[in-house]
Structure 1
Amino acid sequence: MMTLKTLIYYLSEHPNIINFRWSHTQSWGSTWSFLFTSILTYILLSLFLHLFLLLRRRPVPLGPIPAMHSLFMALISLTIFTGILFSAAAEIRDTRWFWRRTNTTPFQWFLCFPLGTRPSGRVFFWSYIFYLTRFLHTLRTFFAILLRRKLSFFRLFNHSILILMSFLWLEFSQSFQIIGILLTTSIYSIVYGYRFWTAIGLRSACFPFVINCQMVLLACNVICHVGVLMLHVKKGGCNGIGAWGINSVLNAAILLLFINFYVNSHLRGRRKRTALTSDNRDDVGKVNVAPDTVETRK
C-alpha cells in the first residue's frame, strides 16, 4: 500500500519533477506555432463534424466512452491538484530563507511570483501537465456533437481560451497560476466526478450542479485577479504581469459569455416553464377547454 511519504515523493520530489524546465526544444507542445495550429485544428474539426452530422438523423452511440472520459478527467484533475499542492509546499520549504529578505509570505507567493521567476521546477511541471490536459478537455466538444447536441460559440471559445491561457502561464512564468490551477482542478474533479456519476445512471442533483460549480470558479478567479493587481502595486511588480493582463481580459470575456449563456439557457427557460405551467393550470380549470389543447402544451 502506498504511504504518504511515497506519494509525496512521486508527486513532488521525483527527479523528473524537480528538474523540469519549460523549453521550446524539450517540452512537447511548447511552441507558438503548435499552440495556434492546435486551436485552429480543434475549431475546424468541430465545425466540420457538426456540419457533416447534420445529415444524420440519429445520434452516434458512444457507449461508455463519455463516462470513462469523465472518470479519467476527475482522477487526473485530483492528481494535478494534489501534485501542485505538495510541490508548492516543497517550494515554500526550500525558499523560505529567501522570502524573509523580501518580506514575502507564502500567500503572496501563491498570487505573485517574484520578478525574474523562470518556468522550471516542481510547480511548473504540474502547470505543464495541466496545459496538456486542456487538450483532453476538448474531447467533450466532439462528444456533444456526436450526441446531436447544439454546438455553441461559447463552448468553442471557452476551450480555446483555456488552452491559450495555460500556455501563457508557462511561457511567461505568469503569477496567479498556482492558485488558478488549484481552483480549477478542485472544481473539475468535482464536476467530472458528478458527470461520471450521472453517466452511469445514478441520480442527478435537483439543481444545475455543473453550472453552479462553474459560477463559483469564475467568481473565485475574479477575486484572485484583484488580489494579483493589489500585490503588483504594493510589492513593485509581479512576474509575467503582461500575460496576466491578457489573462484577465480573456477571463472577463469568458465571464460575460457565461452570464449571457446562463441567462438565455436557464433563467429565461425557467420563466417560460413557469408561465407554461400557469397557463396549463388555468386551462384545466376551464370547462370548455379541449383535452388535446392541454396535452399539446405539456
Structure 2
Amino acid sequence: MLITVKTLTYYLSEHPSIINFQWSYDQSWASTWSFLFTSVTLYLTLSIFLHLLLALLLRRGRPVSLGPIPAIHSLSMTVISATIFAGILLSASAEIRESRWFWRRNKTTPFRWLLCFPMGTRPSGRVFFWSYVFYLSRFVHMWRTFFTILRQRKLVFFQLFYNSVLTFMSFLWLEFSQSFQVLAILFTTLVYAVVYGYRFWTGIGLPGACFPLVVNCQMVLLGCNLVCHVGVLRFHFMKGGGCNGIGAWLFNSVLNAAILLPFLKFYVKMVLEKRKNIGFIENQNQDAKFTKKIKEK
C-alpha cells in the first residue's frame, strides 16, 4: 500500500515533467490567444450548426440514439476530474511544504497562498501543471453539449455560455498566474467527479437520487467560489503587496457573476416549483382523505 501511495505521489506531484512545467507559447500546446478564440468560436459554431442540421433532417423532438457514448464520456470525465483533484491537492501540499520557510520571512500563510499568490508569481511548477491539465479538460467537457443537442434536440444557451466562460477563465488562470485558482480547481474537480460519476451511474441504468443532485452540486460550487472571491479581495487590500493577477481576477469575477445570476434564478424557480408541486400533492391527499371519511359516514 505504501509503495502504491508513493508511486501515485511521484506521478502526480514529483515527476520531473510536473515540477519543471512552464506555461509558454512554445512549450505548452493550446497556449495562444488565437487558439483560445478559434476553439471557442468553433465550439459555438458547431453547436449551432448541428442543432440547425438536425432541425432540417429529423422530425422535431426526435432524439438521436448515442448508445453508451455519453456514459463513457461521463466515466472519462470522472476519472479526469478525480486525477486533477488528487494531483493539484498533492502538488499544493508539496509547494506549501517546500515554501514554508520562505513564507515565514514574508508573513505568508498557506491559506493566504491558496487564495492570494504573491506578486511576481510565474505560471510554472506543480500547481500550474494541473491548472494546464484542467484547462485542456475543458475541451473534453464541451462534448456534453453535442450529446445534449443530439439526445434532447435542444440548444441550451446557458450551457454554451457556461462552457465558453469556464474555458476563458481557465486560460486566464495560466496566462496571468491568477490568484485563487488552486482552490477553484479543487472545488470544481471535486464537484465534477461527483456529478459525472452520478451521470455515469444513471447512464448505465442504475437508479438516480431522489433530489436534483447535479443542480445542488453546481449551486454549492458557485457558493464556494463566491466566498473565496471575497477572501481574495480581502487579502489583496491587506498589507503584503497584493495578489498576483488581480486584473484577471476582476474579469474572472465579472464572468462568475454572469454565470451565478441566471443559475441562481433557475435554482430559485426550480425550488419554488418543487414546493408548489409538493403542496399540490398534499392538498390532493387531504381532499382524498376527507372524501373517504365522508363516504364512510
What residue in structure 2 maps to residue 153 of structure 1? Answer: 157
Q: 1:243 aligns with which of 248, 255, 265?
A: 248
Evaluate the alpha carbon distance shift between residue 219 and residue 22 of structure 1 in structure 2; reply closer, same or farther with a 3 A threshold: same
The count of residues paired between Structure 1 and Structure 2 equals: 286
Which range moved further: 53-62 or 40-49? 53-62
* CA distance in structure 2 between the partners assigned to 1:240 and 1:109 by the alignment: 13
* CA distance in structure 2 between the partners assigned to 1:110 and 1:188 by the alignment: 20
Residue 261 of structure 1 and its aligned partner are, at CA, apart by 2.6
What residue in structure 2 maps to residue 86 of structure 1? Answer: 90
Evaluate the alpha carbon distance shift between residue 54 and residue 262 of structure 1 in structure 2; reply closer, same or farther with a 3 A threshold: farther
* CA distance in structure 2 between the partners assigned to 1:167 and 1:213 by the alignment: 24
* CA distance in structure 2 between the partners assigned to 1:122 and 1:107 by the alignment: 17
* CA distance in structure 1 between the partners assigned to 2:38 and 2:172 by the alignment: 16
What residue in structure 1 maps to residue 262 of structure 2? Answer: 257
What residue in structure 2 maps to residue 213 of structure 1? Answer: 217
What are the superposed Cα offsets for residues 145-185 of structure 1, whole Å, 9 maximum, x if unpaired? Answer: 00034222111100000000000000000000000000000
What residue in structure 2 maps to residue 6 of structure 1? Answer: 7
What residue in structure 1 maps to residue 294 of structure 2? Answer: none
Q: 2:193 aligns with which of 189, 194, 206?
A: 189
Residue 34 of structure 1 and its aligned partner are, at CA, apart by 0.6
Normalising by the residue count of structure 1, what TM-score does the alignment of the two structures yield? 0.90
Contact 2:119–2:241 (8 Å) recurs in 1: no
What residue in structure 1 maps to residue 31 of structure 2? Answer: 30
Which range moved further: 227-236 or 14-23? 227-236
Residue 282 of structure 1 and its aligned partner are, at CA, apart by 10
Fraction of identical pairs, as percent: 67
1:7 partner amino acid: L
* CA distance in structure 1 between the partners assigned to 2:93 and 2:103 by the alignment: 14
Find the residue that maps to 2:206 and give its secondary structure. coil
What are the superposed Cα offsets for residues 115-148 of structure 1, whole Å, 9 maximum, x if unpaired? Answer: 0000001110000000000011111100000003
What are the superposed Cα offsets for residues 37-90 of structure 1, whole Å, 9 maximum, x if unpaired? Answer: 111111111011111111313211110010011011011101000000111111
Residue 260 of structure 1 and its aligned partner are, at CA, apart by 2.4
What are the superposed Cα offsets for residues 91-119 of structure 1, whole Å, 9 maximum, x if unpaired? Answer: 11221111011111111100000000000
Taking the TM superposition and a 5 Å limit, the aligned residue runs for 1:85-124 are 85-124=89-128
Which range moved further: 50-59 or 135-144? 50-59
2:31 partner amino acid: S
Normalising by the residue count of structure 2, what TM-score does the alignment of the two structures yield? 0.90
What are the superposed Cα offsets for residues 190-242 of structure 1, whole Å, 9 maximum, x if unpaired? Answer: 01000101111111111110000000000000000000000001133100000
1:262 partner amino acid: Y
* CA distance in structure 1 between the partners assigned to 2:87 and 2:226 by the alignment: 24
User: Where has structure 1 moved over 4 Å in runs of 4 or more?
Assistant: 271-285
* CA distance in structure 2 between the partners assigned to 1:178 and 1:251 by the alignment: 16
What residue in structure 2 maps to residue 49 of structure 1? Answer: 50
Residue 21 of structure 1 and its aligned partner are, at CA, apart by 0.3
Find the residue that maps to 1:236 and give its secondary structure. coil
Evaluate the alpha carbon distance shift between residue 167 and residue 138 of structure 1 in structure 2; reply closer, same or farther with a 3 A threshold: same
Residue 272 of structure 1 and its aligned partner are, at CA, apart by 6.5
Which range moved further: 87-96 or 102-111? 87-96
Q: CA RMSD in A?
A: 2.1
Contact 2:118–2:241 (8 Å) recurs in 1: no
What are the superposed Cα offsets for residues 2-32 of structure 1, whole Å, 9 maximum, x if unpaired? Answer: 6111111000110100110000111111001
